[in-house]
Amino acid sequence: MLLSTVRSTAIPRTTTPRLARGLLQVNHRAQLGDLYGLRLKGSTPITTQTILHGSPQAKAEGEIEIQQHSKLVGRGKYIHAFETHRIKPDATEEYKQLAEEYYDGLAKDPSIGVKLTGSWETTVGAQDTYVHILEYENYKGYDKDLEIISQSKHHEVYKKILPLLQTRNIQLNQEFAFWASSPPRTQGGIFELRTYQLMPGTLLEWESAWRRGIEARRRFASPVGAWFSQVGRLHQVHHMWQYESLAARKELRTKAWAVDGWADTVDKTSKLALQMDSSILVPLPHSPLR
């Protein structure tokens, strides 16, 4: 088993318990990087000593390892922005009209490189909540498009949306390499967005277990996409599915449990999660995925 191969590390006696736990986590992640081949040639290992004394070289190499970690599990080409709006309960119709004008307008503007993956309303889960997923050409594309949008007519539409909101949030995510996001399609039914808050340092284990077990689910349901967070709430994983109905969802999930390997996948991944959420969404009329 992977974890059994990770070495223990010596912690100085003068280290406080809280710092000791942090050092063990850092050392554990660094050694996982070794096991996955993430160490760059000629680099200095991240050790207790380098962390305690704040070596600039160690800090720089630690940042490189984090980047390499994302490259290992992610596709890397695109950034997906999850924009979540919780609106005032009496603003539903006005919000839907303005959301279509804004998000559909962005997707159809040739001067902007952003693509709209989809727009949904939550029907089971946090009420009065809408989720919009936008696809950008990496971080440079994100920065460039935001600058263009801020100077465009679309920004004026967005300002009309703001008074209708109670809260809003943006999280930047990257696709898992084994699961590219679905292109636009019209199949009808409902969507399920599942969100997992992972224990820090367990993304590689989660990805490895899910990659091996995903085929059991693909046999019975239409996968939409899977992402892991990069900016915003960290250590989160999302995946989305499309079903004909809630009854069909229950039936298909039951069938998946009968497939060899799926129960093992669920057992392994559930142990890595601190919290799990499931929301049922219905697409808005302008959504490319519906």
pLDDT at 218 (0 to 100): 77
State the first-to-last Cα distance of the chain, in angstroms, to the nearest integer: 41
CB neighbours of residue 127 within 10 Å: 11
Block residue for tokens 């006005």: 94
142, 47 Cβ separation under 8 angstroms: no
Name the 3-class secondary structure at 5.
helix
Task: Please tell me the distance from the alpha carbon of residue 68 to that of residue 95, in angstroms, as a whole number.
Answer: 40
In this structure, the chain runs to a length of 290
* Predicted local distance difference test score (pLDDT) of residue 69: 54
Question: What pLDDT sits at residue 221?
Answer: 79
| Cα(11)–Cα(51) distance, integer angstroms | 11
pLDDT of residue 71: 59
Per run of 10 residues, the mean pLDDT along the chain (length 290 residues) is: 41 46 47 42 43 42 47 75 98 98 97 96 98 96 97 98 98 91 93 97 92 79 90 97 95 87 88 97 97
pLDDT at 68: 52
Name the residue with tokens 């490895």: 208
pTM of structure: 0.76
Single out the residue of 224, 180, 206 nearest to residue 75, CA to CA.
180
